[in-house]
Amino acid sequence: QVTLVESGGASVQAGGSLTLSCEVSGYNNRHYCMAWFRQAPGKEREWVATIDSAGSGYADSVKGRFTISKDNAKNSLYLQMNSLKPEDTAMYYCASRRTTYCAGTYDGLFGYWGQGTQVTVSS
């Protein structure tokens, strides 16, 4: 059984930083596509960042502020978030698909999801 468990969400002030973690179990994510998505209240879920064998990609809204990374030894995914803004407030989800390359950011492509971790940024 594949499970993804996020952690690290918190309430912070604008300009602050947080690091989210996602622990994967049930398969080795070393060579697979992984991603972070987020969903704010009343809004659709949106892609934040992806990482695969070719590298990483970011939504324009977070580019330069967020960094996605993996620790293959720990089978974990991370999202370092700097210079946080109130508009970053959302539930953040880790997701994975068993393909070498992400080849897209549509959330329907991802078969495995965590339960989410809440990030709240106050002004």
Identify the pLDDT of residue 3. Answer: 94
* Residue (of 55, 69, 57) closest to 22 by Cα position: 69
* Residue (of 62, 68, 64) closest to 94 by Cα position: 68
Identify the pLDDT of residue 75. Answer: 93
Report the C-alpha gap between 38 and 79 in whole angstroms: 12
Read off the pLDDT of residues 77-114 as tens digits, 9 standing for 90 and up: 999 999 999 999 999 999 999 899 998 899 999 999 99
Look at the alpha carbons of 107, 108, 111, 113 in this order and tell me if their dihedral is positive or negative.
Answer: positive
Identify the pLDDT of residue 27. Answer: 82
Identify the pLDDT of residue 104. Answer: 87
Identify the pLDDT of residue 63. Answer: 98
